Amino acid sequence: MNTNNLSFLNILNTNLSFLWQYRTIILVISFIFSSLVLFILFIISIYLYRCLKKFIFSNCVHFNKYNSSTKKTIKLYGKYNIKSIYLVKHNLNYITCFIMNILSVNKLSNLLLYYKQTTGKDISPTHVSIIAEVCLPDSRESKLILIEKNWYINITTDFFLSNKCHYKHLDIPFSTNLIKILTRVKKNIGKKNYFNWYKNNTCQHFVSSILRELNINDYQTHQFIKQDLFHTCDDISPYTMYILNFLLNLHNTITDSFC
pLDDT digits (tens, 9 = 90+) for 146-204: 999 887 788 999 988 888 889 999 999 889 999 999 999 999 988 878 887 766 677 88
On whether both 41 and 88 belong to a single domain, the answer is: no
On whether both 89 and 194 belong to a single domain, the answer is: yes
Residue 79 pLDDT: 93
Residue 177 pLDDT: 94
Is residue 250's pLDDT more than 50? yes
Residue 196 pLDDT: 76
pTM for this prediction: 0.65
Residue 87 pLDDT: 95
Give the model's confidence band at 81: pLDDT under 50 very low, under 70 low, under 90 confident, else very high: very high
Q: Is residue 61 part of a domain?
A: no
Q: Domain range spanning residue 44?
A: 3-56
Chain mean pLDDT for the chain:
77
Q: Is residue 210 part of a domain?
A: yes
Cβ partners under 8 Å of residue 136, min gap 6: 80, 142, 143
> 91 vs 50, which has greater pLDDT?
91
On whether both 76 and 136 belong to a single domain, the answer is: yes
Residue 214 pLDDT: 92
Q: Is 12 in a helix, a strand, or coil?
A: helix
The dihedral built from the CA positions of residue 167, 169, 174 and 178, taken in this order, carries a sign that is positive
With a pLDDT cut of 70, the percent of the chain lying above it is 69
On whether both 192 and 112 belong to a single domain, the answer is: yes
The number of folded domains in the chain is 2
Quick one: three-class SS letters along 104-160?
CCCHHHHHHHHHHHHHCCCCCCEEEEEEEEEECCCCCCEEEEEEEECCCEEEECCCC
Residue 251 pLDDT: 55
State pLDDT tens for residues 41-62: 888 877 776 666 555 444 444 5
On whether both 11 and 91 belong to a single domain, the answer is: no
- Report whether 185 contacts 194 (CB < 8 A): yes
State pLDDT tens for residues 140-161: 889 999 999 887 788 999 988 8
On whether both 18 and 142 belong to a single domain, the answer is: no
Cβ partners under 8 Å of residue 87, min gap 6: 128, 129, 130, 167, 168, 170, 207, 221, 224, 225
> 85 vs 91, which has greater pLDDT?
85
> 106 vs 162, which has greater pLDDT?
162
On whether both 155 and 45 belong to a single domain, the answer is: no
Write down which residue in 33, 56, 79 finishes a domain.
Answer: 56
On whether both 49 and 167 belong to a single domain, the answer is: no
